[in-house]
Chain A
Amino acid sequence: MKSQLKTLAKVLKHSFSSLDTVQYPDQQPYLAPRYRGRIVLTRDPDGVERCVACNLCATVCPVDCIALQKTELEDGRWIAETFDINFARCIMCGFCEEACPTHAIQLTPDFEMAEYDRQNLLYRKEHLLIDGSGKYHDYNFYQVSGKQIAGKAKGEADNELPPVDIKSLLP
């Protein structure tokens, strides 16, 4: 009896407290930048595609919904020729972002991806690629990698010595 009265009182109290329901979509919730929603491919500070097609995101993906093919640009960069994400499968776990050694692949706070046609849930490279650098502004993979690309010769990356003169036998 006592507990029933207690419950009634509690319910009654809620009639006077403020509402939790949000009037979505008229009212948009705040989502932190690290929220795991729609995936994008970003560009490095020079505006060049960051993804080097290393395949780590695809490998770590627990539902195997990323598929890509590596190719090379004239200037020596590795780049994705195709990059497909099947969002009908993606579980927004963010593993790909964690695995990515170049900060290319990033999850964004956008989750409004519903489609009437399932086929439209396949995002290809042109749908994924954005113009900016996303959450990580300064990282430039080729500046730390030893691989030579046009405009960055051997020895010109961060923390590199000039190329060895192989004709020299000096100790």
Chain B
Amino acid sequence: MPEISIDGKTYQVAAGKNLLQVCQGLKLQLPYFCWHPALDSVGSCRQCAVLMFQNDEDTRGRITMACMTGVTDGQRFSIQANSAQKFRQLCIEATMTGHPHDCPVCEEAGECHLQDMTLISGHIERRFQGPKRTHKNQYLGPFINHEMNRCIACYRCVRYYRDYSGGTDLNVFASRNNVFFGRAQEGVLESEFSGNLVEVCPTGVFTDRTYSQHYSRKWDLQSAPAVCVHCSVGCNIFPAERDGILRRVTNRYHPDINGYFLCDRGRFGYDFVNHGKRTEHAWQRNNSKQTTEQLNAQQAQDSLSAYLENTEQLLAIGSSRSSLENNFCLQSLVGAENFYSDNSTELETQLQRLLSHYRDTQPSSDLKSLETSDTVLMIGADVTQSAPRIALSIRQMIKNAGIAKAATIGVAYWSAAEVQNIRQDLKSPLHIISSHSTRLDDVACSIDNSHPQQQLDLINKICSMLSDDNPGAVDSRPDQISITDKATAICQHLLQAEKPFIVTGIHTGQPVELFLASLKLSAILYRRNKHAGLICAVPWVNSLGLALLNDRQQHFDTVLQRLEQRTVKTLVILETDLYRYCPAKKMNQLLADVANIIVLDHLITPTAEQADLLLPSASFAEQHGSWVNYEGRAQNSVKCFSPAQQRRPAYRWLTANTPFHSIVNDLSGIAECLNELPSLYPSQSADFHSARKTVRESGRSALHSYIDIKDIQPNSDPESNYQHSQEGVASNLDDSQSPAYIWSPGWNSSESLNQFQDGESGAIQGAQPGLLLFSKGQTDSSLVTADQSSDSIKGPPAESKNLLRALPYQHIFADEELSSCVTSISQLCPRDTIKINAAQASYLDLVSGQLVTYSFADTAHSLGESIQAQSTAALPLSIDDSIATGVVLLPALLLQRAAMGDDCWLRLAVAGERADG
């Protein structure tokens, strides 16, 4: 460990780091702009200047950039030296010469890294009186505002957007102090991770447009450590509220999951909490009088008990987007035998298989280890669309070969520009097996877009090549030869790698066999190499948690059957919209025969419209809850603000106000892996609380004066150690639990994170990393999943040359229920189309743009007949040559609604004239 001295103090520091990283770890106050913990150093802003002394005799020293100076033993530096301070001050003065007089109307003000650094550097008076340079702004889509005048040319945005997230449409233009950061032409930013620009840009150039629409200064926001609910990754976030409106979501650093970045679905999907279609009050339908009556809370509670008195023909549906506690309370209320998941048979099977894989065969892996892996094989999942943050991690994995190469010639990983220069086109291998193009194709080393059957053959081939005991039999059929070649290439990389990863996913419409084969492959790989990892995206935020509770594996297809058989009298639906799993007409029919429909939800979904009793439930931001992410990590999400109106967490409706802690205790008893769940929720303490609001919150004695000029007492939260007020310990002074917000004196921006981290890039002090439910106990050799895979995917029910295998095409903004109702997000949903490749189209005599209908071939399915018979709405055809022959792509949601099971074989037919001529 090198020992260095800074301003006369000696420190033991980690080797291989640069001085700025070291200073951050030591919490020394050294300004910086261009350096970012995830983007590393380029030394362009000259703000992190320090004095470096040659030897012990040297008293003058020389200015050097901390971020470009690797630490070695015995070095002596000074941050405080006058000349260093002067340098930094002059430097920022020069930066500020062109800066506009904008702070009052700048969304960044109050959390602006530039403001902070200007103050830290001691530049407090403007001397330059010359004219300021100006720039025109661009429209960059519904998420991001652009105000180029405020740019300080630190280059963080392009380095993040292009080098880190792989975007291509943001760039730097012009020269010298005229540089412009934007797009070649105005337009929506293409990257799925564009929202991070808001936090990466240290100034107010890129700001959150949705936040600006209901803006509030950072110090007025009430926040809490929560978990994103828009996919199965479970990124950590800070939702932030004021006056009953959820104003925005920002990243909450978790070293093993999201790191410093979120995806756009997660960052901008929060607005559903403010949606006009939120449920507010309890309503009961009175069928005899043909009226709907609003109930008060007690009446609603009584009415619920009355409905549930008779448990005969009772059926309850849990939700993949609701917390463990909510699902558990419903399950306990109705009894496990009456509790069903909202997953189809196929999804339920796959989820249960994944659980047993984690439990028995191979531990799950986090995104940090994916980022540090060196070969990835991605099978049948376009993770950018389904669990976006995973894709960002894969993009970092790609760079590892370059970093390793740089290391061999002595260049440190943090020297970003040098490493990039050495790397050139060198990539760590990413192989993709899919049926159509994915958003990661641009960095892939091989892409195999083929029919699911061929994909399965290829995976099985790789499996047999990898398993020593079963060398694949040589097959000389021509199509087998090409498969052998492909498999050999992939195998080589997987075997050479120190840390190979399999990335796959579970989603509706995917052939189950393909998923099982991927698990088998991963198991075999893991048996050979204990560093091998598996990342498997699951459909929704708590899919795995629900599967864990639902050990009877009671799935939604049975629900449909029972509804069909009319053996359901009382149906309880928790936070899920049944109309997403079944065509509307059919669902209407089925629900018409149910006497009592009870719905708990936070949005008025089509299902909620059918309710006889509708109970308004709290959203993720208004309740405590645990969620199990794709890797089987249970994380607690702390309530951010108190629900308004009659809204309350579903667990409270369902248990008639049982204290949250005792629910968690009961829940922890139901399965061994959940035993430690209560540790996520520290026990209540009477005299210790931390504040959800900042010390500088404004307007406390005026905000609600229009209702009553007398002060209103802040709500209390008996369920946690956080207060809905400023009372309690400020977040920067408390390291005993996750901070409610990130702020510390002098550091108002999100960069103040460095004051909270445990060393440089360490976890936030006191933060809950979550509970890994399946981190141990895997019995190495039992390849449970291996036995259950098969050689062929289920074929079409009837041999017909015009039958195509339907597969879903997913879209980051279209598929997830909660985020897709948000205006800014729904604007970016693509138009629904049917996609096939050109050869297929000409074979079927179809042309691009033509309206086509589809009908399913399956009639064997129990519910088949009635549904398949009905003709489906026509959709325009679009041609995409990356799609494998024999495959047709439908929008994921549409397929989920229309298809029964995984027998997704369908026939296309012309609907009429060509759309839009």
Contact = CB atoms under 8 A, between A and B. Distances in A.
Contact of B702 (A67, A72, A154, A163): A67
Interface string B180-221: 100000000000000000000000000000001001110110
Interface stretch (B129-137, B394-402, B563-571): B129-137
A64 B178 contact: no
B579 to A, nearest CB: 35
A86 B174 contact: no
A165 B133 CA distance: 11
A155 B173 CA distance: 19
B522 to A, nearest CB: 49
A146 B175 CA distance: 21
Interface in B76-135: 100-105, 109-110, 129-135
Contact of B701 (A55, A63, A101, A148): A63
Nearest to B242: A69
A115 to B, nearest CB: 10
A89 B703 CA distance: 12
A144 interface: yes
A130 to B, nearest CB: 20
B696 A59 contact: yes
Contacts of B103: 54, 101
Secondary structure class of chain B's binding surface, majority of residues = loop
Contact of A64 (B149, B174, B180, B700): B700
Contact of A160 (B132, B136, B699, B709): B132
A92 interface: no
Interface in B136-162: 136-137, 147, 149-150
A55 B217 contact: yes
Interface string A98-126: 00011000000000000000110110100
Contacts of B175: 169-171
Contact of B706 (A84, A118, A144, A162): A84
Contact of B105 (A54, A66, A85, A168): A54
B292 interface: no
B709 A163 contact: no
A123 B460 CA distance: 75
Contacts of A59: 217, 219, 696, 698
B408 to A, nearest CB: 37
Contact of A155 (B134, B698, B706): B134
A163 B134 contact: yes
Interface in B871-903: none
A159 B702 contact: no
> Which of under 10, 10 to 19, 20 to 34, or 35 or more describes the interface residues of B?
35 or more
B314 to A, nearest CB: 47
A166 interface: yes
Nearest to B104: A54
B9 interface: no
B709 A121 contact: yes
Interface string A62-90: 01111111101000001000001110110
Contact of A119 (B174, B180, B220, B709): B709
Nearest to B177: A164
B133 A52 contact: no
Contacts of A119: 708-709
Contacts of A54: 103-105, 109
A17 B342 CA distance: 93
Contacts of B215: 70
Contacts of A136: none
A62 to B, nearest CB: 11
B705 interface: yes
Contacts of A64: 697-702
Interface string B692-723: 00001111111101101110000000000000
Contacts of B219: 59
B290 to A, nearest CB: 41
A161 interface: yes
A101 B104 contact: yes
Contacts of B700: 64
A164 B180 contact: yes
A162 B701 contact: no
B131 A85 contact: no
A65 B705 CA distance: 9
B585 interface: no
A70 B212 CA distance: 9
Contact of B132 (A56, A101, A146, A165): A146
Contact of B100 (A58, A124, A146): A146
A124 B709 CA distance: 12
A36 interface: no
Contacts of A66: 698-699, 702
A43 B697 CA distance: 27
Nearest to B133: A161
Max chain A CB contacts within 10 Å: which of B130, B133, B701?
B701
B176 interface: yes
A124 B708 CA distance: 13
Contacts of B703: 67, 84
17 contacts: A54-B105, A55-B217, A63-B701, A64-B701, A65-B701, A70-B215, A84-B706, A86-B701, A102-B104, A118-B710, A145-B105, A146-B100, A146-B102, A154-B136, A165-B174, A166-B178, A167-B174
Given A55-B698, A84-B703, 5 more contacts: A72-B212, A88-B709, A101-B104, A119-B708, A147-B102
Closest CB pairs A-B (n = 7) = A146-B100, A67-B699, A54-B104, A67-B702, A58-B698, A146-B149, A86-B702
Interface of A: 52, 54-56, 58-59, 61, 63-70, 72, 78, 84-86, 88-89, 101-102, 118-119, 121-122, 124, 141, 144-148, 154-155, 159-171
